[in-house]
Amino acid sequence: MAPQPQHENGNRDGHGHLETIEPMPEETTPLLDERDENASRPSPSPLYPYALIFVVLLIIVSDVGGSLLDTPEVRLLEMAVCRDYYRLHDPSVIGPPPLSYVDENLCKERDIQTSLVYLRTKKGLLGLIPGILLTIPYGRLSDRHGRKPILFLGILGQVLSYFWMLFICYFHQTFDTRLVLISPAFLLIGGGSRVLSAAVYSVIVDVTPEEMRTTAFYVLGAGAIICDVIMAPIGSWLLAKDLWLPFRFSSIILLFAVLMTLMIPETLPVEKRASSLEIPESPPTTNADPERQNIWQWSFNSLRDYVNSITSALGIAWATRELRLCLLVVFLFTFNVSSGVISISYASTALDWPVWRVGYLISVNGMMTLGILIALAFLSQALERRLGVRPLALDVNVVRVSSIVLGVAGLLMGLPYKWTIIIGYILSGGGYGLYQAMQGLLASYGDKTHTGQVYATASLVDLVARMAGALTYSRLFEWGWDHFPWWGKGLPFLVVSLFNFLLSLVAFWLPTKVPTRA
């Protein structure tokens, strides 16, 4: 539920930095002050570390609820698709209502699995649309009115979307399974996981001292992974007992997460709210009284403001070479992570495992990621305290090495052997320090005045990449299965490997020092 992987994943979840399309004279100053180690550092926020601890706890609670569902949600949708298939082909294998279970071994047919992948892909793509439309506006609202309302709306929308899916699947005798595709409409409330991620990262930048910021990103990532490591096998164990058991527990936890957002403190300083308003608004219409404007004029003005907010934020993010490279890395990484839409179905069919057993493999993958993030957090602090070296170079090298690790993992997963698939699945967990490192790089290369819009723009890139990747890998999964029965199901992961190696080449163009600008 919380920033994924990205997954999600990727997601798990964005950024951008600015110069407006037509820069004003004062915008020629450097995006960041020069890193003078002898200069006095700004006073820490009075909300540090309270607000940081609270937002980490919020994400952990929401991740606990979400991690319980890693495999159960796939199995729930598989059951729905499988039940629909056998209603047409062999109703005798369907159990008694209201649950109407079908034996899982009967659900591994090619038609069922490809239908499942496409259903999940469509649901995921529709879930991206609110983020694509609303990430930049919500980012601007975050910079103007604060982080707290954005966090509340973000989690509320996701929880409502989740409950709609449960409603449709439980009352399957009344409602068509395809109605689960309406669930993403609830993400218009809050904009979805990418907006939530952007708000969370903005809170961290608001309150965390600069020398602790990268470590905070790693700690947040580690907390989310701990949830996956602990809760994914619990979710799988509950799933092995009964299909609906994990959802009973997760529903209570996610409702509690919504209530937690009401208690989080507002972290956006008043002076930042004022400076974020410096982007000029559209001139007022001659008929300035809103009550006298007709609906068409009001709609036109709203659309114009929306377009202006997007073009302004994109101008910020496209202002420097460093940020352009960062956005390219974000795109390639998320494009590859989008293969997650088929990973559980692929592992279940290629390894001939039930879905709940794949959940244990996800847990081992999470342990690998957790170990990497903990090591990076300690290394980041050691470099800062003992050597006086800022973590920027570390973050850049994490991106480089992680992309190579993910390339090797994708290659192993794509090979048609059970042992390589298992090793590749686990090894892929060693590459996800890349996402957390990117959060630090975007903050380091960008303008602190527009943090919310910076992260929102990268989230928009993330969403576009997720959409393109989900479509690509779903189609490759079906095409490979049809044309190359022995190894074709793994074709998407061979493509993942290729793009991850390409990403590693791009990463070597990232500078290890923040450039100074005249």
Tens digit of pLDDT for each residue in 11-42? 333 333 322 223 333 333 343 344 444 444 55
Which of 36-40, 293-297, 329-333 shows the lowest per-residue confidence on average (mean pLDDT)?
36-40
Distances (CA, A) of 287 to 84, 273, 301, 303, 382: 57, 28, 12, 17, 61
Domain assignment present for residue 34? The answer is no
Domain assignment present for residue 298? The answer is no
Compute the Cα dihedral for 79, 84, 89, 93 and give only its sign: positive
Q: What is the pLDDT of residues 438-487, one digit of tens each?
A: 877 887 776 666 666 677 778 778 878 988 998 899 999 989 888 887 78
Q: What is the pLDDT of residues 178-219, one digit of tens each?
A: 999 999 999 999 888 878 888 888 888 888 887 777 778 777
Question: If pLDDT is split at 50, 70 and 90, which confidence band does 4 have?
Answer: very low
Q: What is the pLDDT of residues 351-384, one digit of tens each?
A: 989 999 998 888 888 888 888 878 887 887 777 7
Domain assignment present for residue 229? The answer is yes
Question: If pLDDT is split at 50, 70 and 90, which confidence band does 410 have?
Answer: very high
Following CA atoms 185, 186, 190, 195 in sequence, which dihedral angle do they give, to the nearest 10 degrees? -60
Domain assignment present for residue 125? The answer is yes
C-alpha to C-alpha distance for 67 and 224, rounded to whole angstroms: 9
Return the ∠ at Cα 131 (arms to 129 and 132), rounded to 5°. 65
Instruction: Give how far the C-alpha of residue 113 lies from the chain's centroid of Cα atoms, to the nearest Å.
Output: 25
pLDDT for residue 447: 64
Domain assignment present for residue 75? The answer is yes
**Model-level pTM?**
0.73
CATH of the domain at 476: 1.20.1250.20
Question: If pLDDT is split at 50, 70 and 90, which confidence band does 331 have?
Answer: very high
Domain assignment present for residue 113? The answer is yes
Q: Which domain holds residue 231?
A: 44-271+317-507
Domain assignment present for residue 457? The answer is yes
| Average pLDDT estimate for 498-504 | 93
Which of 146-155, 378-387, 419-428, 466-475 shows the lowest per-residue confidence on average (mean pLDDT)?
378-387
Domain assignment present for residue 226? The answer is yes
Compute the Cα dihedral for 239, 245, 251, 252 and give only its sign: negative
Distances (CA, A) of 203 to 46, 65, 144, 164, 198: 13, 22, 14, 30, 9
Q: How many domains does the chain have?
A: 1
